[in-house]
Structure 1
């Protein structure tokens, strides 16, 4: 977590800071309110603000509210300064920590801040079952595999497990294995020594060392190269890593959580994922159900997001009207919880009356949200007839020809976004890249990111 200290770092305040750092917090110090606000406006979110009671806590909190900056403020002061403690709470501080600081109290405050925003919203039995399993195994150090469709909340679940673990106040570090090129992922994970390769001008600490003591999330691990999987397996088995270009192993102590939206058993059969690594990672599997398979959570999540984004944008909390709730329940939610969250976020911004009505439920491009509702029986019948016509049109064509057209049309639909296209097609991004390289070598037009395909004349 990231901690902002505002005030004099001399003496007992410095002791509180040191205790927080020993428990994994990254600390930023501000001598005055202007510097504190600059830090709070920065690109990296501040999880907690600790303020000396000698500072003007009220004006700081008022400035944060004006700029819609949301971070809990904790006041710190000497034990016998009861009046200052009462005033700090009245001025908006969340808690008061007496100085000199008690290590257990500092640890409790840090743990409370890391968990308060991560309570899982789950009322549907299908999701409640998964959450209970997560809470049961969280205190252990067992590796966990979290699976589910895109948008089901795999990273949120990973963070939840971390906050319920014995490592909660230590670092939580996430690496998206699909977003980092293969030739850079090894250095990202394990770090490198100065001169290890061209451009390695200094030693770099990798994510394994950064997460030591805490939890490392390997997001979309199915996209990791097989060669790198072997090095990861050694790190898991022996609890040591080798920096790129390093001459001696570096010990690490962390918990691994991995996620995938693919069936890794199939990846093992295809030879793109190591079976021994899967066994090592998949000690416990948390399979997150799609939102359409946990319908009792739709309205609970909608209310949660409405409250969250009203607070984040400084808007009054508006209840979701009954017609809007009916429409939310009728949607298919192909994008799962992520799609629902974005829909409610837009609705909070667009609602104008005392309630969030159905008119505020629109798609990102402004279209009527009703079009996203589950199809009627007549629509299903029409779709079936269309599908039959499409099937007939495919007769006489090779599988390779049909596959190429499907891949390129999907990529065109995603405006060249390979990650989105691979998710829709149900293949790894590596497989998609290889096929696109083959098509390009044959002179076929391949959409680039942000572009539509240039159709070639026949």
Structure 2
């Protein structure tokens, strides 16, 4: 986690810096917006910008957009400056952090930005086999393709491989190919020269150069436009990149790890992914099983998240009751580890006794984990799957396809607390398609949760 802090508030930002560093962030500091922009262009990079609310935040965000620098911005200032806080959010800041800084709030913001838990908890034999293969190939220079359903922990495994590699002391840089618009992704990856397009006021180093010497993670590479895939293939093959608007190739030394929640072989057949690029990326394939296929990990992860969120929220650590454990093991977890983490976070907040009881294991709308479908559990997996399919089909009879699609999208967004990128991954659609659907629903007067909220929470 790389944090760039812009401005100074009589030592208050210094305190925030110390807190962030204690939480594992590497921190850079810039006194002015111009200095911050030079830092971001230079390739030193940041995963989050935290800016003094008294500075012209609109200017910073406009400059980032014009120069195609994709990084979230949060504002911070004295707690009583409500007008400045509102102005910062309207200018485009994602969050407002009141000062003096609160350690738990800083931790929550950093956790939200990094999105995935960085802790690798493994107990199940199926996942241990994947980890054994990761250990075996981590020290090589081979490109690695990590596949698996959304929420299984692909980025966590990628970071594990980097930590086990000879490049561990060099940068680990992640690019979410699904979250960055197509017209920005090329500049994000390869950088640009001054004057390459409107707003390119200076040379900017891209993620390839930023990661040089280390590891570049191309997260959800299946979402990359096929035209950009050709340029990526050349960069991987020749270890040379061309900045947008540049005329001179730039050498880079990186190890590529890519992730996908889709079957890339099918994407090749459909013409959406280059076969030669797949061969370059898929030297070694680490396929992460879904959480339902590694049941021994469920309770280990649940206990880990229980300890984590009890500490973050300043609450007593409670063990899971026997009934709660049975509920967790019986659930299907379509959102995998990410869904389990959200469920346990919620359970930590809802639990009231000396244990986390079954009554606290709820979906975002307050329903039991099985939802509205009751399925007798067979000992035969095939029979159990058939029973589930039949029960789900019966529950949908009488509803239109549009209604089912709308409820699925909104319920998934609720489950992800408004995080559109995570919801799109779980739904198996592009972020652009999800945004278009949500715009349609809002136009119809349907409540759509903002990032960090749910419809239940805002009702």
Contact 1:142 1:284 in 2 (8 A): yes
**Pairing partner for 1:414 from 400, 409, 426:** 409
Contact 2:193 2:202 in 1 (8 A): yes
Q: 287-296 vs 307-316, which deviates more? A: 307-316
Give the equivalent residue in structure 2 for 1:323: 323
**Alpha-carbon distance in structure 2 between the residues aligned to 1:237 and 1:198:** 31
Per-residue CA deviation, residues 29-74 of structure 1 (Å, 9 max, x unaligned), is 999974431324679965379xxxxxxxxxxxxx999733799xxx
Per-residue CA deviation, residues 395-438 of structure 1 (Å, 9 max, x unaligned), is xxxxxxxxxx75785256424978677656646567x59xx8xx
Contact 1:291 1:336 in 2 (8 A): yes
Per-residue CA deviation, residues 84-120 of structure 1 (Å, 9 max, x unaligned), is xxxxxxxxxxxxxxxxxxxxxxxxxxxxxxxxx9552
2:442 aligned with 1:451, yes or no? yes
Per-residue CA deviation, residues 201-223 of structure 1 (Å, 9 max, x unaligned), is 11111111111111111111011
**Alpha-carbon distance in structure 2 between the residues aligned to 1:43 and 1:410:** 43
Give the equivalent residue in structure 2 for 1:108: none
Give the equivalent residue in structure 2 for 1:215: 215
**Pairing partner for 1:37 from 3, 15, 30:** 15
**Alpha-carbon distance in structure 2 between the residues aligned to 1:452 and 1:374:** 35
Distance 1:346 1:447, change over 3 A: closer
Q: Secondary structure at the match of 1:371?
A: coil
**How many Å apart are 1:278 and its aligned residue?**
0.2
Q: Secondary structure at the match of 2:364?
A: coil
Q: Secondary structure at the match of 1:146?
A: strand
Give the equivalent residue in structure 1 for 2:245: 245
Contact 1:327 1:373 in 2 (8 A): no
Distance 1:2 1:44, change over 3 A: farther
Q: Which runs of 5+ in 1 are unaligned?
A: 4-25, 50-62, 72-116, 395-404, 437-445
**Alpha-carbon distance in structure 2 between the residues aligned to 1:447 and 1:346:** 25
Give the equivalent residue in structure 1 for 2:390: 384
Give the equivalent residue in structure 1 for 2:64: none
Q: Secondary structure at the match of 2:366?
A: coil
Q: Which runs of 5+ in 2 are unaligned?
A: 28-98, 108-116, 379-383, 414-419, 447-459
Q: Secondary structure at the match of 2:218?
A: strand
**Alpha-carbon distance in structure 2 between the residues aligned to 1:122 and 1:347:** 22
**How many Å apart are 1:256 and its aligned residue?**
0.8
Distance 1:449 1:345, change over 3 A: farther
Q: Secondary structure at the match of 1:185?
A: helix
Per-residue CA deviation, residues 353-398 of structure 1 (Å, 9 max, x unaligned), is 221111221211223345388732599759627748989x99xxxx
Give the equivalent residue in structure 1 for 2:122: 122
Give the equivalent residue in structure 1 for 2:25: 47
Give the equivalent residue in structure 2 for 1:177: 177
Per-residue CA deviation, residues 162-182 of structure 1 (Å, 9 max, x unaligned), is 111111122111111111111
Distance 1:303 1:141, change over 3 A: same
Per-residue CA deviation, residues 298-329 of structure 1 (Å, 9 max, x unaligned), is 11111111111122222222111111111111
Calculate the TM-score normalised by the size of structure 2: 0.67
Distance 1:130 1:310, change over 3 A: same
**Alpha-carbon distance in structure 2 between the residues aligned to 1:389 and 1:30:** 57
Q: Computing the radius of gyration over CA atoms, which structure comes out larger, 1 or 2? A: 1
Contact 1:412 1:447 in 2 (8 A): no
